[in-house]
Amino acid sequence: MSVPTRTLLLFIMLTTTTHRLIGGSLYWQSLPQLPDKEGFAGSFSGVSRGALLVAGGANFPDKRPWEGGTKIWHDRVFALESRSVAWRDAGRLPSANGYGVSATVDEGFVLVGGGDAQRNFAEVWLARWDGESLKFAAWPALPKPLAQAAGAVVGRTLYLAGGLDRPGATQAQRVFLALDLDHRADGWQTLEPCPGPERFLAVAAAHDGAFYLFGGARLVLNAHGQPQRELLRDAWRYRPGVGWTRLTDLPRAAVAAPTPAPVVAGRVCILGGDDGSQTNVAPTTHRGFQRDVLAYDPASDQWSRAGEVPFSLLTTSATIWQDHHVVPGGEARPGVRSPAIWAAETK
């Protein structure tokens, strides 16, 4: 990062932050909030031509769900440029969309799958920011619609695991897909799925040439035939040419934590997540989700707790912008979104 750009980013943080907290080795500060009073869960995020982009997602703009509010999916895209202290309107998605997989690659910002209230999507889009608006190009579609999947880029391959094929699904998808970015015309390849349970809202990570998959939830039918979540704590690593290896289980469940998880000083860090401890708590008295950081050390195959983050955000993406890990809003409590944007310098 150039000195002027780095200085400007620090200026943005110092002039907008309202809360600073050291979480592990990450020093989190707030960026300018999204220009929406509610904020969004399930937004896509990425970087193109130096601009941080946040797109789509869903919220309850009028009333909370327990007040009869309706969940609305959005198509708005916001951009924060390196020489700006405020977000600007960057256009619209091809359709209202949320809860897909985000990836920043050399070509631009990739949006994979997702869905809305009626259906989940198989479409994949490459978005490029030209300084004034966002331009979209269609990339090879997924073999099936998927939302709430987990994905990450390892080298020049984009991996995607799990997810739901439709709203109201009664079972998650046991699927593992790969797109070779240098041979996109070959489309998505179906690989051996994770040997563990099928899952959605898991956390992915990319580190040292491997793809990691942590936790999430599966759907099981209760005595009344209704799907309910079973929270997962298992951890897995996939190496091309080697396959899947089971790792030490997480100390607690971590559902819908920001993904892909940041890697800090060689450790994969899961930022909070839902551990299920408040599953039966009324939304009006919900205290917010976990804030502790679970750090996985691949060298020792051990977990440790590495401080806390100053936010309680679920069902949100994560990206890297100007040498900072960025978490763009998300679900702060059941039915409540947040427009807050948090950033921590990469280490």
pLDDT value at 13 more than 70: no
**How far is 293 from 94, CA to CA, in rounded Å?**
35
What confidence tier does 10 reach under pLDDT thresholds 50, 70, 90? very low
Amino acid at 74: H
pLDDT for the residue numbered 150: 98
* 72 CB neighbour count, 10 Å cutoff: 17
The parent domain of residue 241 ranges over: 3-345
Q: Is 186 helix (H, G, I), strand (E, B) or coil?
A: helix
Backbone angles phi, psi at 185, to 5 degrees: -60, -20
> Left (φ > 0), alpha (ψ -120 to 50) or beta: where does 343 sit?
beta
Reported as a single tens digit per residue, the pLDDT across 134-174 is 999 999 999 999 999 999 999 999 999 999 999 999 999 99
Say if residue 69 is exposed, middle or buried (CB neighbours under 10 Å; 0-12, 13-18, 19+): middle
Q: Which of 135, 115, 140, 118 is nearest to 42 (CA)?
A: 115
Tell me, what's the pLDDT at 224? 87
pLDDT of residue 5: 42
CB 53 within 8 A of CB 77: yes
The more confidently predicted of residues 112 and 17 is 112
Q: Give this prediction's pTM.
A: 0.93
| pLDDT tens column, 35-70 | 999 999 999 999 999 999 999 999 999 999 999 999
Q: Where are the beta strands (DSSP E) in 75-232?
A: 76-80, 88-92, 101-105, 108-112, 124-129, 134-139, 150-154, 157-161, 176-180, 189-190, 203-207, 210-214, 217-221, 227-231
What is the CATH number for 67?
A: 2.120.10.80
Mention every residue, 6+ apart, whose C-beta is less than 8 A from residue 309. Answer: 21, 23, 26, 28, 271, 272, 291, 293, 342
Runs of H (alpha helix) within the chain: 3-16
For the stretch 235-239, contacts whose Cβ atoms lie closer than 8 Å and that sit 24 or more positions apart, written own/partner, are 235/296, 236/194, 236/195, 236/196, 236/212, 237/210, 237/211, 237/212, 237/213, 237/298, 238/159, 238/176, 238/194, 238/210, 238/211, 238/212, 238/213, 239/209, 239/210, 239/211
Number of domains in the chain: 1
If pLDDT is split at 50, 70 and 90, which confidence band does 225 have?
confident
| 67-120: pLDDT as tens digits | 999 999 999 999 999 877 899 999 999 999 999 999 999 999 999 999 999 999
Over the stretch 230-270, which tens digit does the pLDDT of each residue have? Answer: 999 999 999 999 999 999 999 999 999 999 999 999 999 99
User: In which element (H, E) is residue 329 found?
Assistant: strand 324-333
